[in-house]
Amino acid sequence: MDLKSKIVLIYGPTASGKSSFAVNLAIKIDGEIINADSMQVYKELRILTARPVKRDCKKIKHHLYGFQNVKKNFSTGDWLKLVNKKILDIKKRKKTPILVGGTGLYFKALTEGLVSIPNVPFKIRKKIRNLHKSLGPKNFFLRLIKIDPLVKNKINHSDTHRVIRAYEVKEYTKKSIYEWFKGTKSTYEKEDFFKIYIDFPRNELLQRINLRTQKMIKNHAVQEVKNFIKLKIPRSRSVYKAIGISEAKEYINKKIKLEDLIEKISIKTRQYAKRQSTWGRGNMQDWIKVNPNNLNNFLKIF
């Protein structure tokens, strides 16, 4: 199979070996790697976000890693603008763009287009969040489907972020979020992509997560967070979604022991990996599923 004319996409849960697989594939097909992970864009968080190691970056050119200052928010729209330029540049040089990461929304924006919903004013967002808090998840969801029936069977009532977002959009724009979705289109055709989903056995993945967390701590992740704290970043910044910041702060403030820090980060990472897998099952049914234990055999195809 010739992948050189394609845009290769590699998605999978955290710690599933995506980065090393991408490097091996890039060597085979003369590719360059583009980051599709929302936390690996931040230059100040190399260890906590498990950015690709230097030796891999020397083997293959990597793009959009560690370039964004943590003091600034970085949106999916920001990423999409940059990634489109990178894809064009890589293809102009007769190389193959390989996008690798675990941020499902990035891949969705690239393959399906980005919804251009107007920004909802802060007053409305605050009002709806207070309403969600006072009604509780189930009653809030019942009210949502009354004003926006299109949401029914498409969002789980326990998915707080998506439920609130749907309500905000309907309240402010008077249109369902799913009506906005219909108006979106990708810059690319379906045939432009070759999609790979790293399907890792859960038990093995949990072991890998635990080992990676221990390695992060040995590699001075706590010091990285100490340096981050000195920057006094507002809590509203998107960087705070990075796993390990709040847990390391607890350890730095002597609220938990080192073994508790490792356990807390491991648990949070496992929960994140589960959400990534859930996203993959729901949104990536047409992707080629590859067991990482067979990655070498898969690479032989090319």
Q: Report the distance separating Cα 54 and Cα 35, nearest Å.
A: 15
- pLDDT for residue 92: 97
- 211 lies in the same domain as 177: no
Tens digits of per-residue pLDDT, 228-277? 999 999 887 889 999 999 999 999 999 999 999 999 999 999 999 999 99
Counted domains in the chain: 3
pLDDT value, residue 94: 96
Residues 50 and 96 in one domain: yes
Whether residue 1 is contained in a domain is answered as no
The residue type at 235 = R
Q: What is the mean pLDDT of the segment spanning 172-194? A: 89
pLDDT tier for residue 100 given thresholds of 50, 70 and 90: very high
Say whether both 83 and 132 belong to one domain: no
Whether 9 and 195 have beta carbons less than 8 Å apart is answered as: yes
Give all strands of the β-sheet with 288-290 in edge-to-edge order: 62-63, 31-35, 96-101, 7-11, 193-198, 288-290
| DSSP H/E element including 288 | strand 288-290
Do 126 and 146 fall into the same domain?
Answer: yes
Q: What span, in angstroms and rounded, lies between the C-alpha atoms of 205 and 182?
A: 36
Q: What is the pLDDT of residues 24-55, one digit of tens each?
A: 999 999 999 999 999 999 999 999 999 999 99
pLDDT bin (cut points 50, 70, 90) of residue 115 is confident
Does 294 map to a domain? yes
Mean pLDDT of 82-103: 97
pLDDT > 90: what percent of the chain? 78
Neighbours of 56 (CB within 10 A): 17
> Do 191 and 292 share a structural domain?
yes
Whether 99 is covered by a domain: the verdict is yes
| pLDDT given at position 1 | 64
152 and 43 within one domain: no
pLDDT at residue 67 is higher than 70: yes
Q: Using the 3D structure, point to which of 153, 182, 211 is the last residue of a domain.
A: 182
Beta carbons of 124 and 171 less than 8 angstroms apart: yes
Distance CA 143, CA 285 (A): 31
Residue 153 has a pLDDT of 84
Q: Are 151 and 177 in contact (CB under 8 A)?
A: yes
The residues with which 290 forms a beta bridge, in sequence order, are: 198
Tell me if 2 is assigned to some domain.
Answer: no
Helix (H, G, I), strand (E, B) or coil at 68: strand
Q: How far is CA 65 from CA 9, 13, 42, 268, 298, in A?
A: 16, 18, 7, 23, 26
185 with 111: CB under 8 angstroms? Answer: no
Across the chain, mean pLDDT equals 93
**Domain assignment present for 145:** yes
Provide the token pair at 106: 């990035």
CATH of the domain at 293: 3.40.50.300
How large is the average pLDDT for residues 88-107? Answer: 97
Residue 293 lies in a domain: yes
Are 103 and 17 contained in the same domain? yes
Scanning 136-175, the segments in alpha helix (DSSP H) are 137-147, 160-173
pLDDT at 225: 98
Whether 2 has a pLDDT exceeding 70, the answer reads yes
Region 124-129: what's the mean pLDDT?
Answer: 94
More confident residue, 216 or 159: 216
* Domain-embedded: residue 208: yes
- 42 DSSP assignment: B
Q: Answer whether residue 221 is part of any domain.
A: yes
Cα separation, 120 vs 140, in Å, equals 19
Structure tokens at 176: 């369902």
Residue 161 vs residue 80, higher pLDDT:
80
At 207, which CATH number?
A: 1.10.287.890
Q: How far is it, in rounded angstroms, from Cα 99 to Cα 87? A: 9
Range of the domain at 66: 7-115+186-201+277-299
Q: 22 with 33: CB under 8 angstroms? A: yes
3-state SS class at 63: strand
CATH number of the domain that residue 178 is part of: 1.10.20.140
Looking at the structure, tell me whether residues 107 and 96 fall in a common domain.
yes
Cα distances from 119 to residues 124, 178, 205, in angstroms, run: 11, 16, 38
Same domain, 167 and 195: no
CB neighbourhood size of 111 (10 A): 19
- Contact call for residues 38 and 21 (beta carbons, < 8 A): no
In the predicted model, is pLDDT for residue 160 greater than 80?
A: yes
Euclidean distance between CA atoms 34 and 106, whole angstroms? 12
Give the pLDDT confidence score for residue 294 in this predicted structure: 78
> Are residues 178 and 191 located together in one domain of the fold?
no
Pair 142, 282 in one domain: no
Kindly state whether residues 197 and 207 are assigned to the same domain.
no
